[in-house]
Amino acid sequence: MLSFHDARVPYAAGALLPAFAPVGDAFAANFKEGLELGACFAAMIDGETVVDLRGGFADRAKEAPWTEETIACVFSSSKAVLKLLAAREASAGRLDYDVPVSAYWPEFAQNGKEAITVAQLLSHQAGLCAFTEETPPEIWIDWDAVAARLQTMAPLWRPGTAHGYHPQTYGFLAGEVLRRVSGRTVGAMVRDFDLQLFCGMKDEEMARAAVMLKPPRPPDLGELNQFRQAAFLKPWSAAARVRPKDWMAAEIPASNMHADARSLARALHPFVNDGRWHDGDPILSQGAIAAALRERSHGDDLVLPFRLSWAAGLMRNINHHFGPNENAYGHAGFGGSCVVIDPEKRLTAAYVMNKMSPYLVGDPRALRLINALYDCL
């Protein structure tokens, strides 16, 4: 590995294999063009880290460098981690994608939700994308209150007939199933990884979190419908009227995990590395990997303004939002973060930053890095 030094990147640090030097150039170009405040990018192939870059600033005043200890909120890139946790439970025989959710969460079997399967839940087909009735926005930091609301809620469309992205509710739906089958919360489960990856942080972890600069304009949601309005535009669509500290301490698995790029790339690597993180025993079975990556729904999304193909928790890369390989998978977080999972290339990659853009998916900064990575293969 070569140490990464580039005058175009303040406090440039990290390392990369010589063959991947163009990725360093792409990382520097994002800074040179004024697109970044602070960022990190990492990639693993066949169990080996080939790129691990970071630089810039963790604070608005440009006084605190982005260091190896810096983490940032990755928003909906968190959902890829939920997919890994579900696949791990499936590998252990505690979860079956084709079984109704109510087999694990009996109270869920209300108001037309009895037959919703785990796979439908994880591929955004359950029709529970948002609360349509006025709700205190503080509800999102109260796990039990959200779970109780979801288990009595009626679907907004007939489950299994369409997919519609679940921005916030997804984490509670998947997380409650995981809690029922494992006896542990999402936050406790990700701490097992021993990575810089957190869902619900302690004070010392919050102190390492980078400031997040809001995007210059709202994202383009396309033509508004009732689902998009409820999911994104209502006063209760996300946590509000809560202290930042309380938000960071809460477990909101679909949108408030904090991580660095290296930890995300490593966490998801079992999907492409025969079920292994590194050289140890597999944590995912081949059967669970196949079930997790199989297409579950394809068509126009009712909430996101895209035609999408969903596996059980990841977008299939039909729109090249995650690089040139259409057979790869990925997930993005609002503002720019993203992860890439490519079983064909045995590759995982992640991009984390703190200067948000208005892109829902396919941020040009991330694509510049991902495309440069693929060009080096």
Per the CB < 8 A criterion, the answer to whether 296 and 77 are in contact is no
Residues in Cβ contact with 320 at an 8 Å cutoff, skipping those fewer than 6 apart: 326, 362
- Chain centroid to Cα 48, Å, comes to 22
In this structure, how many other beta carbons lie within 10 angstroms of the beta carbon of residue 14?
24
Q: What average pLDDT does range 20-41 have in this prediction?
A: 98
CA 183 to chain centre: 23
Dump strand ranges (E) for the chain: 2-3, 13-16, 38-45, 48-56, 72-73, 197-198, 258-259, 297-300, 307-310, 315-316, 329-332, 338-342, 347-353
CA dihedral 67, 68, 73, 79 (to 10 degrees): 160
pLDDT band at 222; cut points 50, 70, 90: very high
Rounded Cα distance between 339 and 376, Å, is 18
Measured CA distances, 256 to 73, 74, 179, 246 (Å) = 6, 7, 18, 11
pLDDT in tens, 224-267: 999 999 999 999 999 999 999 999 999 999 999 999 999 999 99
Spatial contact of 56 and 92, defined as CB atoms under 8 Å apart? no
For residue 121, with 0-12 CB atoms within 10 Å meaning exposed, 13-18 middle and 19 or more buried, which class applies? buried
**Has domain 71-260+281-339 been given CATH number 3.30.1310.10?**
no
The DSSP code for 103 is: G
Query: Structural domain boundaries of the chain?
Result: 71-260+281-339
Report if pTM > 0.85: yes
pLDDT in tens, 157-211: 999 999 999 999 999 999 999 999 999 999 999 999 999 999 999 999 999 999 9
User: Residue 8 contacts by C-beta under 8 Å, 6 or more apart in sequence?
Assistant: 28, 29, 31, 32
Is residue 279 scored above 80 in pLDDT?
no
